[in-house]
A and B are shown apart, each in its own frame.
Chain A
Amino acid sequence: MSATTFQRPIATTRSVTGISTGKLAVWWILASEVVIFGGLLVYFMLMRLHHGAIWMAESQHTRMEAGAINTFVLLTSSLFAVLAHQAAESGDGKKAAKFLWYTIGGAIMFLCVKAWEWTGEISHGYVLTKNIFWGCYYCITGLHGVHVVAGAIIMGFVAKDAARGKDLQRVECIGIYWHFVDIIWLFLFPLFYTSTAG
């Protein structure tokens, strides 16, 4: 076997199941993430159903405008991620990298809005230990924020390689992860921001 066979890690490109192993690994990660976020959301919903009065009172203090802006930002960044995938599919690494950087820009904007939102809430006394609602709020949105940070960092590495036309298959993998982060937020938005309106 020649040395050139091992220029790329086998796991990223080979396909035993009909799906490239790298992409399959991302789906496995997402399946475990479904259980992690699903568990937290199940807990949240049970608490919401049981302690309705607390939820109604406390969720009035979350900022719907911040949640709405962040939803829009994440949807826009998801568009950039899929456009990066499309560019990678057609072999245009530079274009894929450009869209990945736009996606990272979306992640930074999301985190800035989140920081502004949390600062306002904490300064008004709505801290993690105030009660069960704020405990859930900071844990779930905080964990989601950690995923945004992780996704943006990985995307930076992928974009750097993609700009040189290297490992373009990774663009799809990080894109799938990013869309998942977006989907989680699509459910957090009504749960924390709009369910008490009206």
Chain B
Amino acid sequence: MSNHESHSQAHHPASYYIRIYWILAVLLVVSIAGPLTAHHFGSAAHTIVLVTGFGIAFVKAYMVAAKFMHLNVERRMIWWLLITSLAVCLVLFFGLAPDIKNGNGHHWVNDKVFVINIDPVHDCHPGSADYRFDDVKQRNLEEISNGGGAAHH
């Protein structure tokens, strides 16, 4: 399909784009209302926040990409270009996750992970009055030497 042909397929009347816009506006209202009212739903609150917040964000992003950017009629090459970039992000996620989530591994200890796990609100902030990095670090090292895993206090 030539570039000209793909443009022709993407060419819609203004009313088409305005209709998409109103759908996006309604989805925006749902993505605000969902998290704000989620606490009424008890144990399902977390799920509702995730679905209405992030789930709808994906739907909106898809609609903007497909309908406004015309990705739905764009050449496959562009899709692969974007998929490759997203794959790099996934590699980054799984590459960094062990360092951030684990407190220790083979012959290494991430002291700061343990410090932050002790008291996230105070101890992680070097400027706070309760910041006792050395004390916490010492406790963590003792725990590891005693055979303890990642400390989640």
Segment touching B, from A2-10, A25-33, A149-157:
A25-33
B35 touches A197 (CB 8 A): yes
A43 to B97 Cα, complex, angstroms: 9
Interface residues of A in 90-136 (CB under 8 A from B): 130-132
B3 touches A27 (CB 8 A): no
B89 touches A42 (CB 8 A): yes
Binding site for A on B (CB under 8 A): 1-3, 7, 11-12, 14, 17-18, 21, 24-25, 28, 31-32, 34-39, 45-46, 48-49, 52-54, 57, 60-61, 64-65, 67-69, 74-75, 77-78, 81-82, 84-86, 88-89, 92-93, 96-97, 100-101, 113, 116, 120-121, 124-125
Picked from A20, A81, A89, A189, the residue with its CB within 8 Å of the CB of B3 is A20
Interface residues of A in 158-198 (CB under 8 A from B): 175-176, 179-180, 182-183, 186-187, 189-190, 194-195, 197-198
B81 partner residues in chain A, CB cutoff 8 A: 27-28, 31
Picked from A54, A130, A187, A194, the residue with its CB within 8 Å of the CB of B120 is A54
Contacts known (A68-B32, A79-B18); A186 close to B57, Cβ less than 8 A? yes
Q: Sample 14 A-B pairs with CB under 8 A, ordered by A number.
A: A15-B3, A18-B75, A35-B85, A38-B88, A42-B92, A46-B96, A51-B116, A51-B120, A79-B21, A187-B61, A190-B31, A194-B34, A194-B49, A198-B38
Interface residues of A in 56-104 (CB under 8 A from B): 57, 64, 68, 71-72, 75-76, 78-79, 81-83, 86, 89
A35 touches B120 (CB 8 A): no
Contacts known (A68-B32, A194-B32); A35 close to B11, Cβ less than 8 A? no
A197 touches B65 (CB 8 A): no
Binding site for B on A (CB under 8 A): 15, 17-20, 27-28, 30-32, 34-35, 38-39, 41-43, 45-47, 49-54, 57, 64, 68, 71-72, 75-76, 78-79, 81-83, 86, 89, 130-132, 175-176, 179-180, 182-183, 186-187, 189-190, 194-195, 197-198
A79 partner residues in chain B, CB cutoff 8 A: 17-18, 21, 68
Shortest Cβ distance from residue B111 to the other chain A in the assembled complex, whole angstroms: 14
A82 to B67 Cα, complex, angstroms: 9
**Given A71-B28, A187-B61, 13 other A-B residues pairs in contact with their CB atoms under 8 A:** A18-B75, A27-B82, A31-B85, A34-B89, A35-B85, A38-B88, A38-B89, A50-B116, A79-B68, A175-B69, A190-B35, A195-B53, A198-B37
B32 touches A64 (CB 8 A): yes
